[in-house]
Amino acid sequence: MKFTKLAIIALAAVTAGSPVLAELEFPAIAYRTGPFGANGAEVADGYADYMTLLNERDGGIGGVRINAVECETAFNAEKTIECYEATKDSGALVYTPLSTSATYQLIPRVTADGIPLHTMGYGRTSAANGDVFRQVFNFPSNYWNGASVIVNHLLDINDGSLEGKNLALAYHNSAFGKEPILTLEALAEIHGFDLTLLPIDSPGQEQKSQWLQIRRERPDYVLLWGWGVMNQVAIQEAANVRFPMENLIGVWWSGSENDVTPSGMDSDGYKSVAFHNAGTDFPVFDDIQQYVTDAGLSAGTGENVGTVLYNRGLYQAALLAEAVKVAQEMHGVADITAAMMRDGLENLVVNEEIMGAIGLAGFGPSFEVSCENHGGPGLGAIQQWDATAQSWTMITDFEESDMSVIQPLIDADSAAYAAENNIASQCN
Amino acid sequence: MLYREAGDFKKSYAEDSQTFPLKLDRYAYYTVLAIAFLVVPFVINDYWASAVLIPFLIWSIASLGLNILTGYCGQVSFGTGGFMAVGAYAAYKLMTSFPDLNIMIIVLISGGITAAVGVMFGLPSLRIKGFYLAVATLAAQFFLVWLFNKFEWFYNYSASGQISAPTRSMLGFEVTGPTASAGAKYLFCLVLVVLLAWVARNLTRGRIGRSWMAIRDMDIAAEIIGVNPLKTKLTAFAVSSFFIGVAGSLIFTVYLGAVDVGDTFGIQKSFLVLFMIIIGGLGSILGSFIGAAFLVLMPVLLKNVMVGIFHWPSDIASHLELVIIGFLIMITLILEPHGAAQLWRVTKQKLRLWPFPH
pLDDT in tens, A342-382: 999 999 999 999 999 999 988 888 889 998 889 888 889 99
> Which H/E stretch holds residue A250?
strand A248-250
Tell which of B260, B307, B321 to mutate to test the A interface (max A CBs under 10 Å).
B260
What are the contacts of A158-166 at 24+ separation with CB within 8 A?
A161/A191, A161/A192, A162/A191, A162/A192, A162/A193, A163/A191, A163/A192, A163/A193, A164/A192, A164/A193, A164/A194, A165/A193, A165/A194, A165/A220, A165/A221, A166/A193, A166/A194, A166/A196, A166/A217, A166/A218, A166/A219, A166/A220, A166/A221
Under a CB-based contact definition with an 8 Å cutoff, are residues A406 and A419 in contact? Answer: no
pLDDT tens string B149-206: 888 899 888 877 888 888 888 888 888 888 888 999 999 999 999 999 999 999 999 9
Question: Is the four-CA dihedral A227, A232, B262, B150 of positive or negative sign?
Answer: positive
Contact residues on chain A for B303, CB-CB shorter than 8 A: 72, 82
Residue B16, pLDDT score: 83
Closest to B320 (Cα-Cα) out of B329, B312, B332, B330: B312
- Given the cut 0.90, state whether the ipTM is greater than it: no
pLDDT tens string A31-59: 988 888 889 999 999 999 999 999 999 99
Phi, psi of B51 (to 5 degrees): -105, -20
Rg (CA), chain B: 21
Q: What is the CA angle B113-B116-B118, rounded to 5?
A: 110
- From A33, A77, A85, residue closest to B47, measured CB to CB: A85
pLDDT tens string A222-256: 999 999 899 999 999 999 999 999 999 999 999 99
Is B8 contained in some domain? no
How many Å from the N-terminal Cα to the C-terminal Cα in chain A?
66
Question: Is the four-CA dihedral B101, B107, B112, B117 of positive or negative sign?
Answer: positive
Under a CB-based contact definition with an 8 Å cutoff, are residues B185 and B178 in contact? Answer: no
Under a CB-based contact definition with an 8 Å cutoff, are residues B42 and B183 in contact? Answer: yes
Is B1 contained in some domain? no
Phi, psi of B282 (to 5 degrees): -70, 140
Tell which of A103, A173, A176, A421 to mutate to test the B interface (max B CBs under 10 Å).
A173
DSSP secondary structure string, A392-421? EEE-S--B---HHHHHHHHHHHHHHHHHHT
Is B285 contained in some domain? no
Residue B189, pLDDT score: 95
Is B321 contained in some domain? no
Half-sphere exposure of A161 (CA within 13 A, CB side): 2
Contact residues on chain B for A32, CB-CB shorter than 8 A: 315, 318
Under a CB-based contact definition with an 8 Å cutoff, are residues B298 and B328 in contact? Answer: yes
Mean pLDDT, rounded, for A89-101: 89
Note whether B262 contacts A420, CB cutoff 8 Å: no
Residue B358, pLDDT score: 66
Closest chain B CA to residue A172: B262
Contact residues on chain A for B149, CB-CB shorter than 8 A: 173, 199
For each of the domains in chain A, give its residue range(s) and CATH number, in order of start: 23-141+280-379 (3.40.50.2300), 143-274+389-407 (3.40.50.2300)
Res A309 pLDDT > 80: yes
Residue A17, pLDDT score: 46
Residue A55, pLDDT score: 93
The CA–CA distances, whole Å, from A342 to A114, A313, B43 equal: 9, 20, 31
DSSP secondary structure string, B306-353? IIIIS---HHHHHHHHHHHHHHHHHHHHHH-TT-HHHHHHHHHHHHHH
Contact residues on chain A for B252, CB-CB shorter than 8 A: none
Q: What does the alpha-carbon distance between residue B176 and residue B89 come to, in Å, rounded to a whole number?
A: 15
Q: What does the alpha-carbon distance between residue B253 and residue A26 come to, in Å, rounded to a whole number?
A: 29
Which residues contact residue B206 at a Cβ distance below 8 angstroms, ignoring those fewer than 6 apart? none
Note whether B315 contacts A100, CB cutoff 8 Å: no
Question: Is the four-CA dihedral A259, A265, A271, A275 of positive or negative sign?
Answer: positive
Q: Is B179 on the interface with A (CB under 8 A)?
A: yes
Residue B1, pLDDT score: 59
- How many domains would you assign to chain B? 1
Residue A13, pLDDT score: 47
Is B343 contained in some domain? no
The CA–CA distances, whole Å, from A9 to A12, A21, B117, B309, B313 equal: 5, 22, 57, 12, 22
DSSP secondary structure string, A258-293? HHHGGGGGGGTT-EEEESS--SS-STHHHHIIIIII
- From A13, A41, A175, residue closest to B162, measured CB to CB: A175
Is B301 contained in some domain? no
C-alpha of B22 from chain center: 26
Residue B313, pLDDT score: 83
- CB burial readout A388-404, b (16+ within 10 A) else e: eeeebeeebebbebbee
pLDDT tens string A189-222: 999 999 999 999 888 888 999 999 999 989 999 9
Q: What does the alpha-carbon distance between residue B112 and residue B243 come to, in Å, rounded to a whole number?
A: 9
Which range of residues forms the domain containing residue B225? Answer: 44-266
The CA–CA distances, whole Å, from A127 to A312, B140, B194, B280, B298 equal: 20, 35, 40, 44, 36
C-alpha of A427 from chain center: 26
Q: What does the alpha-carbon distance between residue A24 and residue A227 come to, in Å, rounded to a whole number?
A: 31
| Stretch 140-159 of chain B: residues touching chain A, C-beta under 8 Å | 149, 159
Under a CB-based contact definition with an 8 Å cutoff, are residues A92 and A334 in contact? Answer: no
Under a CB-based contact definition with an 8 Å cutoff, are residues A278 and A258 in contact? Answer: no
* Strand B163-164 versus strand B258-259 pairing type: antiparallel
Is B354 contained in some domain? no
Closest to B139 (Cα-Cα) out of B162, B157, B156, B123: B123
DSSP secondary structure string, A162-205? -TT-EEEEEEETTHHHHTTHHHHHHHHHHHT-EEEEEEE-TT-S
Is B139 contained in some domain? yes
Q: What does the alpha-carbon distance between residue A183 and residue A168 come to, in Å, rounded to a whole number?
A: 14
Residues of chain B with pLDDT under 50: none
The CA–CA distances, whole Å, from B358 to B350, B352, B353 equal: 11, 12, 8
Mean pLDDT, rounded, for A125-146: 90
Q: Give the orientation angle of helix B229-250 with respect to helix B103-122, to 10 degrees.
A: 140
Q: How many CB pairs under 8 A join A and B?
A: 103
The CA–CA distances, whole Å, from A38 to A35, A309, B18 equal: 8, 10, 55
Residue B178, pLDDT score: 83
Mean pLDDT of chain A: 88
Residue A21, pLDDT score: 65
Please name every residue paired with A397 in a beta bridge, in sequence order, or none if there are none: none
Res A20 pLDDT > 60: no
> pTM of this prediction?
0.90
Which residues contact residue A357 at a Cβ distance below 8 angstroms, ignoring those fewer than 6 apart? none
